[in-house]
Amino acid sequence: MSAPFRTASGGRVERSVPVSFTFGGTSYEGLRGDTLASALLAHGVHQVTTSIKLGRPRGVGAAWAEDPSSLVQVEEPFPDPMQLATTTEVFDGLVAHGVPGQGRLADIGDSARYDSRHLHVDLLVVGAGPAGVQAALTAARSGARVALVDEQSEPGGSLLGTTDLVDGRPALEWVGDAAAELAAAPEVVHLQRTTVFGVYDDGFALAVERRTDHLGGAAPREVSRQRVWRIRARRTVVATGAHERPVVFTDNDRPGTMLAGSARTFLHRYGVLAGTRAVVLTTNDSAYRAAVELADAGVEVAAVVDTRPQVPAHWAAECAGRGIEVRSGSAVVGTRGTDRVTHARVAARDGGAVDDVACDLLLVSGGWNPAVHLYSQARGKLAFDTSLGAFLPTGRLDDLLVAGAAAGAQELATCLRQGGAASATALVELGLDVVPVPVPSTPAAPPVTAPDLVWTVPDVDGDTSRQFVDLQRDATVADVQRALGAGLRSPEHVKRYTTIGTAHDQGKTSGVVTSGIIAELLGGGPDDVGTTTFRPPYTPVAFATLAGRDRGQLFDPVRTTALHDWHVRAGAVWEDVGQWKRPRYYPLAGEDVETAVLRECAAARTGVGILDGSTLGKIDVQGPDAGELLDRLYTNLMSSLAVGKVRYGVMCGADGMVIDDGTVLRVAEDRFLVMTTTGGAAKVLDWMEEWHQTEWPELGVHLASVTEQWSAFPVVGPRSRDVIQAVFGPSGVDAANEAFGFMTWQDTVLDGAPVRLARISFSGELAWEVHVSSWHAVAVWERLVEAGRPYGITPYGTETMHVLRAEKGYPIIGQDTDGTVTPQDLGMAWVVSKKKPDFVGKRSFARADNLREDRKQLVGLLPVDRTTVLPEGSQVVELAESGELPPPPVPMLGHVTSSYRSAHLERPFALALVKGGRARAGQLVHVPVKGRLVAVEVTGPVLVDPEGARRDG
Amino acid sequence: MADAAPSTTPSTGPSSSGLLPRTHPLDVRPDLTEQTAGAVVAKPLTTAVQVRAELPGPAADAAARVLGVALPARPGTWVATPAGGRVVWLGPDEWLVLDPTTTPWDLEPRLREALAPAGGAAVDVSAQRVVLELSGPLARDLLAAGCAVDTHPSVFPAGRAAQTLLAQAGVVLLALSDDGRHYELLVRSSFARYLADWLVDAATEHRARRA
């Protein structure tokens, strides 16, 4: 299919590299270097889609990211919603279609890679137009570490859409030489197709690089599709250019209507004529260039409609020389056409007849908005410059400078000069020796006539309902009027009332116009109204890009113990405990979780089991005041513990609520090993450090995490003594009760490796914890398993561990407690010292609320039917004397915190926090389970071996 | 029920030396170097002791006598020991001693006996961390893929150390050379496989380029 609107030559497209793509079901041919928009325009296709609310035809309104209307859905090579035709590069196999406002996410996983890089530079230059290139060159020659970041496919910025000369030759040749010099500089990172979308404190900027989007299906699989750059710059030069803005008039949304400068870009960069017969509406000199250059390229320019009464003499002469009519003091009051503009309706500004001028292209320029987004994100203040008719930066920030058109510069020479100067200023501040780069010469620009400030052209009938301010949101002047009528004044409020500026383009063309319209309607200037806040991201960034490689297996670190591979080979089913992978149970062939856990529990209660408890937190506490520190942090006394002994302890917050528990080994006179819960490991160390460093720095004590230093294996059950004796007997250990008492520890050496054995039981059974350097964990574990074979040693997981401890009424902090539970509530008043003068939490135990009889207390629950496993979290309720539930709201007595099936009891049981629970022992209460009430008996929390006869074997 | 326990693997069977065999968390990633295009090598298990002392002070002096080198006072640095180890600054009163030439049960007691009477402390943390060596032209790019520290040799030359994050794992990063091509990473043992997998994934493009 031929492209009738492609020029015969010129442009940056590669005319020898055609690409085939499909848009809206029709196949087209474009050229490498085209955007979807330029390729469609080359075929005379202006309408891209229809609008979100009104269904009006919409086309290509601009040539880059400021376009409010050309939204498309990419379908191939991978579904990508809400892309702009103007920023989507075409490639072979691209399939897309227009979308009215909303796209569609892929319903299959995105297999593309996304990644990120950190980058540190002295100078970040945003924008590779004339100002940015000059800034980067200056910094590079001065030996600075530089990042030059630009969002287009090649450097040049505005120069890509002009015929400007620099140093007497085409400007892009100058740009090309500069890019080559930058590429050869060792400390320069030059990124194209990369958008700096956010600027934050301390010189931090985020950018997204589109690395392979333009390659389509030919993109190498291993190369990340997009990359987030996290840039830390000591100074930033924002050289982001300016966006042309429209003038609002009736039916200004018809396809064929576009910004004047964009038509120049389509011509010079892409070699595409945006129409055959054009009308140009302008408030300033810049659009005359578009008129003249399009006319020179063969477009019939029917008229230049200038709102100003006096037209610039230079441009009037240029137009006259080409036979272009210039209508001064006039405006376009409307358009005609259906899916494409056919006429511009032109009238004098002071009234009079409307002249319908035939055209298929209506170019509009309402002036230029410096792209101040990044400056404004960094909290730079803006002020309206009446002579330029634009909001400008009011200066520089500590570490951010603005140069070129983004700072209001209008001439190419000014942009080049400002770019170099801003860079030099920044480099001097950084203490670098500046090597100045001469400002290249540029031809003299024609004299500038002051621009007109026109936001809207009144409708001939006063109807503002088709005067579009935000094309993407179908929001009109009428909507702004309605907002003001509702009493809203701030552009922030008007934005939210009308939704203007909330679409994909975030108001790049509509935002300042809205401020102008508000000012016009309220009487006053745009400065009185101001703008809405500029926020990141500058252009949309996909969540997949931000997620980067933190997905799938790498979404969150998986922490593994030294025995992980053994567990894998043993067929463990995993439980995620924080970031740890812990075996939950080890099913044998054909076993479900219930069967496996009953088997594992039975083994530990009747034979011997072994658990990988290595995730338990471990803290080494050293120094002459080690005991004193522990006395102040635990509720019970630790300093009285003899070397060689073990004590269980509870830690409370200052509010008296339990925050952690575990055992403490006194290793030496001045050394303890504190064991914490798995989940509490990091926070307990922080807690201890905080008290030590901020309250008691005088204590001579040092803390160190040794969680991963030591692997820990409880060997549990009546036959555990046999296993321990078999493995460590040859090293001199005597595991008999008399020689190795409960809550004592002993060190030994196994084939050269130190091992610590401690008689600690979290199951009520005879048990040893085996502590060994994780270097030797596998070897020691395998020795234990080997030695246990004659006794049927059974590895068990967290589920069995939970059942065994619950049968004994041992709480899990964080499961049976929730930060509102005291040791007394847990029935552990015995662990709270009455003798110690003070410890964290002590004073709170005297609070009246902590002494209430009806506090929730930990109790056991036994379902009377002996079959129901109460769901954890179930509410506990009490029946009225009538035997019925009391009328709603039914008072809640508490809730089930742990619930299991017990092999030992041969029935299910539960732990629960119940109001005044201990006094209810023996009573029946009820638990609603799936719509029925299950009667349960309240008991003490210790259901197995309450007299503690089993712990010595 | 003993069937649930797999048999002893050859790698951890009784060693000929009669000493209890050790296992390295990255034994299961034997192709780590190949998969990272030659950039990452898992170092052998190394004796490591955490040292606490006031600096200056008698405990720091005692440590210097044991180690043969003064504890580095400058934040974010490390120094070499005469024995071929390193002393890494971790905090104003905290250092990490790495010594490949001795055993934990030799070094910890020696340091502890010297330091404790002077108010210091020493703790064996040899099994807490795994050491990875990053070298070659890809080293800095792999770090930049997940570490916010500026590793440019002008600001992070040999002798610099940083406690930071690489991806989502806490690491101690040591610069070993002035040319930006040689680093060591100390990572918690439980995070070692995550980090190794992350590094392999980070090297995807380099690996493909090499192939």
Q: Is B196 on the interface with A (CB under 8 A)?
A: no
How are beta strands A277-282 and A361-365 bridged, if at all? parallel
Chain B residues in contact with A202 by the CB 8 A cut-off are none
Q: Minimal Cα distance from A561: which residue of B?
A: B190
> How many angstroms separate the CA of residue B170 from the nearest CA in chain A?
11
Q: What is the pLDDT of residues B84-93, one digit of tens each?
A: 999 999 999 9
Three-state DSSP at B56 gives coil
Q: What is the pLDDT of residues A359-372, one digit of tens each?
A: 999 999 999 999 99
Cβ atoms of A728 and A769 within 8 Å: the answer is: no
Q: Give exposure, A437-463, as e/b (b: 16+ Cβ within 10 Å).
A: bebbebeeeeeebebbbbbbbbbeeee
Higher pLDDT, A684 or B4: A684
Cβ–Cβ gap A558/B194 under 8 Å: yes
Q: Is B89 on the interface with A (CB under 8 A)?
A: no
**What pLDDT is stored for residue B4 in this prediction?**
39
Q: What is the pLDDT of residues A76-94, one digit of tens each?
A: 999 999 999 999 999 999 9
Query: Which residue in B121, B128, B197 is closest to A702 by CB distance?
Result: B121
Q: How far is it, in rounded angstroms, from Cα A100 to Cα A53?
A: 8
Q: Is B210 on the interface with A (CB under 8 A)?
A: no
Superfamily of domain B2-44+128-210: Probable tRNA modification gtpase trme; domain 1 (3.30.1360.120)
Q: How far is it, in rounded angstroms, from Cα A916 to Cα A102?
A: 57
Top residue of B11, B22, B143 to mutate, by most chain A CBs within 10 Å, is B22
Q: Which single residue is written with the structure tokens 């700072």?
A: A407
The distance of Cα A777 from the centroid of its chain, to the nearest Å, equals 39
Average pLDDT of chain A is: 96
Positive or negative CA dihedral for B114, B116, B122, B123?
A: positive
Please count the residue pairs, one from chain A and one from chain B, whose beta carbons lie less than 8 angstroms apart. 171
**What pLDDT is stored for residue B9 in this prediction?**
33
pLDDT, average across residues A889-896: 96
Query: Which residue in B18, B190, B208 is closest to A751 by CB distance?
Result: B18
**What pLDDT is stored for residue B209 in this prediction?**
87
Q: How confident is residue B13, by pLDDT bands cut at 50, 70 and 90? A: very low
Amino acid at position A714, single letter: P
Q: What is the pLDDT of residues A223-270, one digit of tens each?
A: 999 999 999 999 999 999 999 999 999 999 999 999 999 999 999 999
E strand segments, A723-817: 745-750, 753-758, 767-773, 794-795
Assess if CATH 3.30.70.1520 describes domain B47-124. Answer: yes
pLDDT, average across residues A467-485: 97
E strand segments, A127-265: 146-149, 165-166, 169-170, 188-191, 194-199, 204-210, 226-238, 242-244, 257-259
Q: How far is it, in rounded angstroms, from Cα A785 to Cα A796?
A: 12
Query: Which residue in B123, B191, B208 is closest to A557 by CB distance?
Result: B191
Output DSSP code: residue A48: -
Chain B residues in contact with A707 by the CB 8 A cut-off are 128
> How many angstroms separate the CA of residue A774 from the nearest CA in chain B?
6
Q: Is B124 on the interface with A (CB under 8 A)?
A: yes
A438 to A155, A182, A401: CA distances (angstroms) = 20, 16, 20
Three-state DSSP at A352 gives coil
Cβ–Cβ gap A562/B23 under 8 Å: yes
Q: Which sequence spans correspond to the domains of chain B?
A: 2-44+128-210, 47-124
Residue A456 φ then ψ, to 5°: -135, 150
Q: How far is it, in rounded angstroms, from Cα A301 to Cα A280?
A: 8
Q: How far is it, in rounded angstroms, from Cα A256 to Cα A245?
A: 16
For chain B positions 146-175, those within 8 Å of chain A (CB to CB) are 146-150, 152, 155, 167-169
Cβ–Cβ gap B144/A118 under 8 Å: yes
The distance of Cα A609 from the centroid of its chain, to the nearest Å, equals 44
Q: How far is it, in rounded angstroms, from Cα A24 to Cα A435?
A: 53
Amino acid at position A676, single letter: T
Neighbours of A92 (CB within 10 A): 16
Taking each helix axis from N to C terminus, what angle separates A477-485 and A491-498, rounded to the nearest 10 degrees? 120
Cβ–Cβ gap A588/B147 under 8 Å: no
Chain B residues in contact with A561 by the CB 8 A cut-off are 190
Cβ atoms of A634 and A652 within 8 Å: the answer is: no
Q: Which of A124-133, A717-726, A829-838 has the lowest mean pLDDT?
A: A829-838
Q: How far is it, in rounded angstroms, from Cα A395 to Cα A528?
A: 19
How are beta strands A277-282 and A300-306 bridged, if at all? parallel
Chain A residues in contact with B2 by the CB 8 A cut-off are 788-789, 792-794
> How many angstroms separate the CA of residue B8 from the nearest CA in chain A?
6
Cβ–Cβ gap A558/B208 under 8 Å: no
A8 to A90, A261, A270, A553, A935: CA distances (angstroms) = 20, 21, 11, 53, 89
Q: Minimal Cα distance from A754: which residue of B?
A: B105
Top residue of A710, A747, A774 to mutate, by most chain B CBs within 10 Å, is A774
Structure tokens belonging to residue A392: 């400008």
Cβ–Cβ gap A788/B197 under 8 Å: no
Three-state DSSP at B184 gives strand
Q: Minimal Cα distance from B204: which residue of A?
A: A222
Q: How far is it, in rounded angstroms, from Cα A456 to Cα A474?
A: 16
Q: What is the pLDDT of residues A136-172, one digit of tens each?
A: 999 999 999 999 999 999 999 999 999 999 999 999 9
Q: How far is it, in rounded angstroms, from Cα B18 to Cα A951?
A: 35
Q: How many residues in total does chain B contain? A: 211
pLDDT, average across residues A275-301: 97
Q: What is the dihedral of CA A215, A221, A224, A225, to 10 degrees?
A: 40
Q: Minimal Cα distance from B168: which residue of A?
A: A557
Chain B residues in contact with A570 by the CB 8 A cut-off are 4-6
